[in-house]
Structures are given as structure tokens and as C-alpha cells.
Amino acid sequence: MSTSAVHLIDLTKQYPQSTKPAVSNLTLHIPEGAVYGLLGPNGAGKSTTVMMLCGLMRPDAGTVNVLGMDMETQSVEIRKKIGVASQDIALFPTLTAYENLFYFGRMYGMSGSMIRQQIDKYLHVFGLTEKSKKIVHTFSGGMKRRLNLMAALLHQPKLVILDEPTAGVDVQSRNMILDFLMLLKSEGTTIIYSSHVLEEAERICSHLGVIDEGKLITEGTLVDIMNTHSDCQSLEQLFLKLTGKNIRD
Amino acid sequence: MKTLATIYKEFLLLVRDPGGLALIFIMPLALVIVMALVQDAPFRDYQEIKLDVLFVDQDGDSLSAKVKQAFDASPNVNLVVKTDTAEVKQLVRSGAFKAAIVIPANSSETLREKTRQLIVKVFSNFGLTEAPKDSLDIAAIGIKILFDPAIKSNYKQTLTGGVQKIVASIQAEWILDELQNQLSEGRTDVKKTPVNLTEIIQVNEQYASEKKYEGLMLNSVQHNVPAWTMFAMFFILYPLAGNFIKEREEGSMLRLRLISGSQFPVISGKFAFYFMVCLLQFILMIAVGIYIMPLLGLSKLVLGTNILGILLVACSVAMAATGYGVLIGVYFRTPQQALSFGSVSVVILSAIGGVWVPVYVMPEILQTLSRFSPMSWGLEAFNDLFLRQASIQSILPNVLRLTGFSLVALFISVIIHKSRTIL
Ligand SMILES: Nc1ncnc2c1ncn2[C@@H]1O[C@H](COP(=O)(O)OP(=O)(O)OP(=O)(O)O)[C@@H](O)[C@H]1O
Ligand SMILES: [Mg+2]
């Protein structure tokens, strides 16, 4: 087995206001170069896991190891090498697309010429070149999503963590994003991809981890998991089999 | 570099926020101009201003000369010499002048004669000289003081009292003179001592109001410009805290925390930017005081000579205001809470800090309270500098208080911010 990009061991997190843990004793193993689909119904604990994975939240128990470094002691180093696009759009609405990206580039500590080069590249990839001087506030949901993703990629991270990057975008934007993720993968970037859109996961993921109610249900390569449950025709059937049909909160 | 980038980002955010811009630049300008105009008259009342008084000299002798000399030396009265009594009456009646002093012809002669007769009579009572044959009943000298009925009573008293004192002192002089004459009659060896009581007694009454600022020119402009500048500077909490909370809500702050481990460039950039905004407000308001106020018929703002001290105070007020804004932004969770608490607190701090009306006209309790308002520290320091040419040393306590306030606010902000962001 290849070396792991991310290793989560026995992670537990309970929000102060809630009665049961959002994540409990979760152990995940994400190989380098994988596109890892972190799947689970609403409230399963995906976002909470992602937050701990990128050091925004401190687990109550357990360890987070990213790119061979421990989050407790080397969070600053880790942050330089990871790119995170959160579930919620995280942009300055009154700045233009370009100004947003440039500022974030600066905050990554990049040089001006490097930032410009990267911005031009991604604006082109995501079809936003013509909108670069427009105020973000005027963008459609899909455009904001793409820009939000770009902001996570500027500094060429080795590990990209995407929490529902295709939420609320149309088919065209979604295809554009998924194609780009495949391109990233081909360049050797590890991608953690949290979603409940199962066709997307089926299309791009090499590995899966399914969680529900904060616990790991199953983990492995997409092929292995599908083979173990050969009675399921699609990932969706498999997902329902594993997590049940009850509506979650 | 990161801090610079943040400063530029804050600049863009503010420039694209017309409401915020209006609030921190237009509102204070409007406020300072309106308040300076409104308070112009009340401030004149607090102050001793020079009263223009008409003066008609029909006497042309030593009495009128003494009166003129005494009033000319008074800082409160400005004599305007006229010759036509009818015209003077008309001027006072029309309200163009508040008062007039008319010294009738032969006043000096009359007074001198009266004095001489008085002495002679006294001496004759003692049997030293023969009683005079002519009558003692010389008419009173009849100096007339005309008043506009609208004149304030304290002005009236000052003028009447002043004239009476002068007449009395002149009379006293002449009495002494006459006494010496009488006593030295026939004795040439006794040298006469020249007496000049008018130089001892001067018309120099102060108006009742304030004693603390005696001799200062705390006028409407001089009070309102620094006061509202301070108010404006503290009001930057509006865009500062507003943007801070918006960034937290919009998630960009989360991204920033992801990007760099340290929040220092983000906070310091914000702080530096709003610090500069405060200084810009300061310059703008001072410019209004110097260039706009005179155009409105108000007096020009006087800065005094200690420019370094002024800069020091401006910087420390800017620090205090920015620190306060950061604290509000960090502490409150929603913009509504932050902005309503923020603006109300600034209004209260400014009210007890002496922005609306000077501290010295406030009741005792409020005066004590005002010592806790950063705005009163700033205002006091500015007044010291503008009006009293204070040295750096004497404004230092207030500067340190303001800087300390800022540091404490920032320190608390950092603690709150940390406790909230690392879950
Ligand atoms: N800030 C919070 N305070 C209290 N409870 C929370 C908080 N955030 C999440 N939770 C709870 O923790 C659990 C996991 O939430 P989380 O957001 O990680 O789920 P998720 O898998 O990302 O869901 P979704 O697919 O809807 O995004 C849920 O039960 C949720 O109600
Ligand atoms: Mg989520």
C-alpha cells in the first residue's frame, strides 16, 4: 500500500451544545495520490472531519496526521501544503474576482508574479477570465463556487480538501470542476472530496470512506467496495444499503 | 507584505462601502459644522468678549481722559469715540451699540471744585480756615451711561461700576492733592507727593461664568472641531467592526485562518489601515476648522505651536478608537448587535467625554464620570495644546491613557478571538 497523505486515528469531536459526538472514534486512511470520496448523509460528520483535518478545529481525542506531519505540533507547515475549499463560500463579496485571488495569494506568502501567473491559469481553466474584474457579489452561485475552489488551489497544494465543491452548481460548471479534479489527480495531487452526490463520487473517486453518525461504515478503493457488495448495481444502492433509508437531520 | 496586502484589501472594502464612507467622513463634517454654528452664540456667552462702548467726551479735561485711559486698558471694553450725543443715543437705541458713556462739559472742573470745597469745608469745621462764602451745592457731575435695554445685567454692572470706581479714584486723588495743598499752605519745604489711584484701580471685571478657562479663548470652533474629530474617529468602529463581523459570517476569515497559522498580519493590517483612516479624518476635520469655519462666519481654529504634541495626541486617539473598534468587532456575533452597541456606546462616551458640551459646564457627577471617557482624555489634551501651548510632558498622561486603553482593548480582543476560533 502506498504511503498515506492523511491518517486520522480515533478522532472524536463533540460540539459543546450537543448531546452526542459529531465524530466518534473515526479512523481514516487516505493514500497519497488518491481521490478520496468522503461520503455520508446529512449530519454524518463530514464537515466536522474536514475541519479537524485542516486544523480549524481541535479534536477532543485522537490524532491528525497530514503529509507525514502531526497537526498538534506542525499545523503551520501543514497549512502551507494543503488547499481547502469549504462547504460555505469564503470570499470577499465586494472585491472583484481578481482582487480576492490576489489577496489570498499574498496571504499564502506568494510573490506577485507567481500570483498573477496562477490566477491567469485558473481563470482560464474555470472560464472566468472575462469576469475577473467583476465584483464577486454579482456572480452566480456557480461562478462563486469556481472562484472559491480557485482560491484553494492558488498555492499549488499537495493535498486538496473539498467539502461539497459542486453544491448548487449547474451541469456545465460541475463538469468543468470534475474534469479539473481529474487533471489535478493526474498531476499527483491527493484530493479529499466530500459529497453526497454519488454519481460524482463514482465518476472520479479512486477511494471511498463512508461515514454515518460520526462513525466509519466502510473504507477502501471504489473497486474493492463495489466488489464486496456485488448485489448493488450502483454506488447509490450501496450507499442506501450501508446507511439505511431514514431521513437525517 | 501580508500586512500591506491586508491594508490594501481593507482600503478596497471601505472604498466600496459608500455607507461606511459617508458615516466616517461626511457625517462628522456635517456634525462639526452644524454644532459649531449652533453653539457659536452659547459659547460667546460663556466667554468674555469685548464690548463695544460709545464714548462722548464733552469735558475734554482730566476726568474724561482718566475714564478713557482706564477703559482703554480694560480687556473687556472697546471704546468707540464719538462727538454727537444725539447720534450716540440713536445708535444705542437701535441696538447697534450696547452702551454709551457720555461725559458732560466741565465735569472735571465741577468735580475738582466740589472736591476743593469739600476739603475747605472740612478744614473750616476744624477751624483751620475761614468758611467759604459761595455755596457748596454744585450740581452732581452727571456722567451719563446709556444702555441698550437688551444688554446683559452683568455688562451693565461692569460698566457702571467701572465708571463709578474711576470717578471715585479721581476724586480721592484730588482730595489727597487738596489736602496736601491745604496742609502745606505757606510752607514751601514740603514736597507734594503725586497721587495716581487710577493706575491701581482698573476696570477689569471678569464675567461670572467659568474660572478654569480664564483668559482662554475656548470658542465654539475651538471646542467643536477637536470634539467631533474625536467622535468621528471613534465612529470608525462602524465600518471596522461591521466588516470584521461580515468577514466572519461570509467565511473569508475562516479561509484566512486556514491559509496562515498566524492571524497577526490580518489583524495588524486592519489595525494599521483604520489607524490611518483615523488620521485622515483628523486632518480633514482640522482643515475644516481652519479653512471652512471662517467662511461660515465663525472663528478660525487655532492649533497652537506644539505640532509634535498634536500629532502624538492624534495618533493616540486613533489607536484608542481603532482598538475599541476591533474589540467591538471581535466581541459581538452579529453586525446588528455590534453596530447598535457600538454607536450607542460612542454617543455615551462622547457625551460624558465633553464632546457635546464642554466638561466644565457639566454637573459635578458627570465631570467625575467624564474622567473615564477616552474622549475626554483626548479632548483635554487637544485643548491643552491648542489653547495653552502645553508641552509634550503635560499631555503625556492623557496620551499614555489613550495608548493604554488601546492596548488593553487589543489584548482583550486577542484573547476573545482565540477562545472563539479554536474549537
Ligand atoms: N457548530 C455546531 N454546533 C453544534 N453542533 C454541530 C455544529 N456543527 C455541526 N454540528 C452537528 O454535528 C453533526 C455533524 O455535522 P457536520 O456538519 O459535520 O455534518 P456533514 O456530514 O457535513 O453534513 P452535511 O452533509 O449536511 O454538510 C450534526 O449532527 C450537526 O448537527
Ligand atoms: Mg457538511
ipTM metric = 0.83
Q: Which of B8, B258, B266 sits opposite A56 (nearest CB)?
A: B258
| Tens digits of residue pLDDT in B350-396 | 888 888 877 777 777 888 888 888 998 998 888 888 877 778 888 89
CA B376 to chain centre: 15
Mean pLDDT of B19-46: 81
pLDDT at A172 over 80: yes
Cell 461606511 locates to B20
* Domain boundaries defined on chain A: 4-243
Per CB-CB distance under 8 Å, the chain B contacts of A54 are 258
CATH for B50-211 is 3.40.1710
The pLDDT of residue B138 = 44
In one-letter notation, the amino acid at residue B193 is T
Task: Give me the phi and psi of A126, to 5 degrees please.
Answer: -95, 10
User: What separation in angstroms does the CA of B108 have from each of A244, B113, B171?
Assistant: 120, 8, 10
User: For chain B, what percent of residues have pLDDT higher than 70?
Assistant: 82
User: What gap in Å lies between CA A51 and CA B146, rounded to an integer?
Assistant: 87
CA distance linking residue A83 with residue A151, whole number of Å:
8
| Cα-based distances in Å from B225 to A197, B218, B382 | 62, 11, 10
Q: Which is it for strands A61-66 and A69-70: parallel, antiparallel or unpaired?
A: antiparallel
pLDDT of residue B217: 57
For residue A145, what is its C-alpha cell? 463556487
Identify the pLDDT of residue A75.
82
Q: Considering only CB atoms, which chain B residues are within 8 Å of A11?
A: none
Average pLDDT over residues B239-268: 84
Query: Which set of grid coordinates corresponds to residue B42?
Result: 452659547
Contact call for A106 and B1, based on CB within 8 A: yes
Using a 6 Å cutoff on CB, does residue A17 contact ligand 1? yes
Confidence of residue B187 (pLDDT cuts 50, 70, 90): low
Q: Which residue has the higher pLDDT, B136 or B305?
A: B305
In angstroms, what is the C-alpha Rg of chain B?
A: 33
Q: Among the residues of chain A, which ranges form H helices? A: 46-53, 71-81, 97-107, 112-125, 141-153, 171-186, 198-204, 222-228, 235-243
CATH 3.40.1710 domain locations along chain B: 50-211
Q: What are the C-alpha distances in Å from B140 to residues B108, B179, B263?
A: 11, 21, 88
Closest by Cα among A155, A154, A153, A157 to A165? A153
More confident residue, A247 or B228: B228
pLDDT at B314: 93
Residue A101: band (very low, low, confident or very high) from pLDDT cuts 50, 70, 90: very high
Task: Kindly list the distances between the CA atom of residue A89 and the CA atoms of A136, A139, A149, B37, B135, in Å, as whole numbers in the listed order.
Answer: 11, 12, 9, 49, 109
Q: Could you say which of A54, A79, A151 has the minimum Cβ distance to residue B260? A: A79
Distance from CA of B315 to the nearest CA of A (A): 28
Q: Which CATH number fits domain A4-243: 3.40.640.10, 3.40.50.1000, 3.40.50.970, 3.40.50.300?
A: 3.40.50.300
| Mean pLDDT calculated for residue range B231-239 | 89
* Cα radius of gyration rounded to whole Å, chain A: 18
Nearest-neighbour CA in chain B from A203: distance (Å): 28
Q: Does residue A16 surpass a pLDDT of 80?
A: yes
**A106, pLDDT greater than 80:** yes
* Distance separating alpha carbons of residues B387 and B287, to the nearest angstrom: 17
Nearest by CB to residue B251, choosing from A57, A75, A86, is A86
Cell of A39: 461520503
Q: What is the mean pLDDT of residues B211-231?
A: 71
How many CB atoms within 10 Å of residue B66? 20
Residues with Cβ within 8 Å of residue A47, at least 6 apart in sequence: A87, A163, A194
Ligand nearest to the CA of A209: 1
Alpha-carbon distance B60 to B108, whole Å? Answer: 8
Give residue-wise pLDDT tens across range B320-350: 999 999 999 989 988 888 888 988 998 888 8
Per-residue b or e along A54-86, where b marks 16 or more CB atoms closer than 10 Å to that residue's CB:
bbbbebeebebbbbeeebeebbeebbeebbbbb
pLDDT band at B206, cuts 50/70/90? very low
CB A169 within 8 A of CB A15: no
* Residue A136 identity: V
Work out the average pLDDT over B90-119. 81
pLDDT surpassing 80 at residue B77: no
User: What are B67's three cell numbers?
Assistant: 475714564
